[in-house]
Amino acid sequence: MDEYMKPLPKVNGDNEEFWKGCREHRLMFQKCADCGHIRWPAAALCPECLSMDTEWIEAGGRGTIYTFAVYHVAYLAAFEEDLPYVVATVELTEGPHLLTNVVGCGPDQVTCGMPVEVAWKDVTAEFSLPKFRPVLKREYGIRKFRI
């Protein structure tokens, strides 16, 4: 693994279970034990009912593109090699919206509503990042790109 020069997540008491899950290639989210709301970002309180009673659940890793942008400018030098790249909000099947990258297809192939699945990127010994790739379906005509 080459030295990773991009920013890494800031782990805190609320999100450490999420990042621990990512290291194991498991997408974990908090679920309110009172109202059932599944939330992201991780927080001490449920934003729906303010309950502090929380359990962690594993998401299936599938969703759809809610919205996206194609970056043609690298605001940090470490991202230049990726240009152009896609930053997207993925709406997971379980409900949370996750800010991520779309990989495995060209930026011109990404559309809102496109089905995607998690594609783990191991960037350091401590961190694996959940990126998303198209669910390959013949009707989308997705060309394969390296991740």
| Nearer of residues 49 and 57 to Zn ion, judged by Cβ | 49
The distance of closest approach from Cβ of residue 17 to Zn ion in the complex, given in angstroms and rounded to an integer, is 17
The distance of closest approach from Cβ of residue 34 to Zn ion in the complex, given in angstroms and rounded to an integer, is 5
The residues near 129 (Cβ < 8 Å, ≥ 6 apart) are 9, 22, 100, 101, 120, 121, 123
| Nearer of residues 32 and 114 to Zn ion, judged by Cβ | 32
State the residues that interact with Zn ion by CB under 5 A. Answer: 32, 34-35, 37, 46, 48-49, 51
The distance of closest approach from Cβ of residue 53 to Zn ion in the complex, given in angstroms and rounded to an integer, is 8
| Nearer of residues 18 and 132 to Zn ion, judged by Cβ | 18
| Nearer of residues 40 and 132 to Zn ion, judged by Cβ | 40
The distance of closest approach from Cβ of residue 94 to Zn ion in the complex, given in angstroms and rounded to an integer, is 14
The residues near 122 (Cβ < 8 Å, ≥ 6 apart) are 1, 128
Burial class of residue 86, CB neighbours in 10 A (0-12, 13-18, 19+): buried
| Nearer of residues 37 and 62 to Zn ion, judged by Cβ | 37
Q: Do 124 and 94 form a contact (C-beta atoms < 8 A)?
A: no
140: tokens are 């989308």
The distance of closest approach from Cβ of residue 95 to Zn ion in the complex, given in angstroms and rounded to an integer, is 12
63: tokens are 């969703």
Starting at the edge strand that comes first in sequence, how are the strands of the sheet with 27-32 ordered? 38-39, 27-32, 54-59
